[in-house]
Amino acid sequence: MSDELFGKIVLVTGAGSGIGLAASQLFADQGATVIAADINLVSAKLLASKIVDNGGQCEAIQVDIGDPVSVASLFHQIKQRYSRLDAAFNNAGISDAQFSWIDFPLEQWQRMIDVNLNGVFYCLREELKMMSEQDAVDGLRGQIVNTSSGAGLIPAPGQPHYTAAKHAVLGLTRSAAQDFSRQGIRVNSILPGLTETAMIVTQPQSMLDALAKMSPTGKLGQPIDVARVAVWLCSPAAQWVNGQAIVTDGGSLMH
């Protein structure tokens, strides 16, 4: 087990389930103090107590990343309780049904953009502010990873809102990396392929089986497969990786 993250303070959004949960456990296993933020405080608290019971350090905080006031409150609490923020995994997100473009429900459009795009921006700008004001350690002030999706490169059918938001996350990532590199802050994104989490369990099993068969690996991703990449990108070992979009899908997008 690497101890590169020992003593680091790490924020994970969407920590209560799926990829965020797996990443939080891995960060804690590697010695980081995890701030587990989620709109679902019950699941974040459950995760935090599991980590603490296993000898790790984790605190659950409720946030709705789609609400700038809620995000400001999250960072106010982080600043009050912790001396610094070494890494952030901006991972919380929502999925949605497929809709026709012609009568696309505007409230669905708005909520998707509020959470999957604006939410990343709200968190990112607080992180950049906090990190740029803290002392550098070995020339590094912070590492940030944003969760996009395969839909950040290839459109998800009937989901222009999800597709647009996930494409935009790549732009936000590169913009932040460009503007904050000189301050010792690295910003990258990961693009998971279909991963077995609560987000996809509502899909018909036959469709999931068909998609798994189409992957070169013959299977769907597991949360830990994606979490490992996110945790590595948040570690000092990845400090020469910057502004990148790392596809974490077992090779599905090769096709």
Residues annotated as catalytic are: 162
State the minimum distance, in angstroms, from the CB of residue 3 to ligand NAD.
26
Q: Which residues pair with 187 in a beta bridge?
A: 144
State the minimum distance, in angstroms, from the CB of residue 135 to ligand NAD.
29
CA 122 vs CA 99, 103, 179: distances in Å? 27, 29, 16
Q: Which is nearer to ligand NAD, 45 or 141 (CB)?
A: 45
Residues lying near ligand NAD in the complex (CB under 6 A) are found at 13-14, 16-20, 38-40, 43, 63-66, 91-94, 115, 119, 147, 149-150, 192, 194-195, 197-200
Q: Which is nearer to ligand NAD, 111 or 174 (CB)?
A: 111
Q: Which is nearer to ligand NAD, 136 or 253 (CB)?
A: 253
State the minimum distance, in angstroms, from the CB of residue 217 to ligand NAD.
14
CA 26 vs CA 31, 62, 168, 207, 228: distances in Å? 9, 20, 27, 30, 7
State the minimum distance, in angstroms, from the CB of residue 151 to ligand NAD.
7
State the minimum distance, in angstroms, from the CB of residue 24 to ligand NAD.
10
Q: Which is nearer to ligand NAD, 147 or 235 (CB)?
A: 147
Q: Which is nearer to ligand NAD, 119 or 184 (CB)?
A: 119
